[in-house]
Amino acid sequence: MLAATETVHHNGVMFDFAPEAGATGPELYDKLIRAAEALVAGEPDGVANMANVAALIWQFVPDLNWAGFYRMVDGVLVLGPFIGKPACLRIALGSGVCGTAALTGETQCVADVHAFPGHIACDAASESELVVPVKLAGAVIAVIDLDSPRKDRFLPDDARGIEALAAAIAPAVGG
């Protein structure tokens, strides 16, 4: 069960989602996806939805030092909402882990970023990275980028979970 409290404010409804203690793997990502779907439901602004989803990822997924989005704008990745240290503003397709994911349309799970040819180091503390393309109608519209200060942080469950998240939110972040 997802732990959530709802507080009504004068300007709308605010949700406070949190993973249950001990939730891991598929269970954790199922809860993250349900929370994300609840937050983006009915909101037409894609950037606002990315901001909330980045915050949820940060709250749900342990051992991260960066979590956020790069948006596809005129054939280049442009920094979107994120949590972490300041990051690169634009990334060319095929450049670094994010650019490779966007160009190939395939998830990139990198155990050691220092071994990845052309890795772009926005935060020197990053040791591993998971980048998942967000696709709408078959086209990459953004990528979800997660960095960790631990080598080998991201497991197949993490990749599958973030891929499922990307598929679930794609219509809400493509607007």
Q: Which of these, 60, 26, 70, lies nearest to 163 by C-alpha position?
A: 26
Angle at 47 between CA 45 and CA 51, to 5 degrees: 120
Contact 131, 108 (CB under 8 A): yes
Helix (H, G, I), strand (E, B) or coil at 48: helix
End-to-end Cα, the chain, rounded Å: 30
Considering its fold, how many domains does the chain have in total?
A: 1
- Domain of residue 108 covers 3-173
Helix (H, G, I), strand (E, B) or coil at 126: coil
Q: What is the CATH number of the domain that holds 45?
A: 3.30.450.40
pTM of the model: 0.89
- Annotate 106-125 with b (16+ C-beta within 10 A) or e (fewer): ebbbbbebeebeebbebeee
Helix (H, G, I), strand (E, B) or coil at 122: coil
pLDDT of 48-88, one tens digit each? Answer: 999 999 999 999 999 999 999 999 999 999 999 999 999 99
pLDDT of 90-126, one tens digit each? Answer: 999 999 999 999 999 999 999 999 898 877 777 778 9
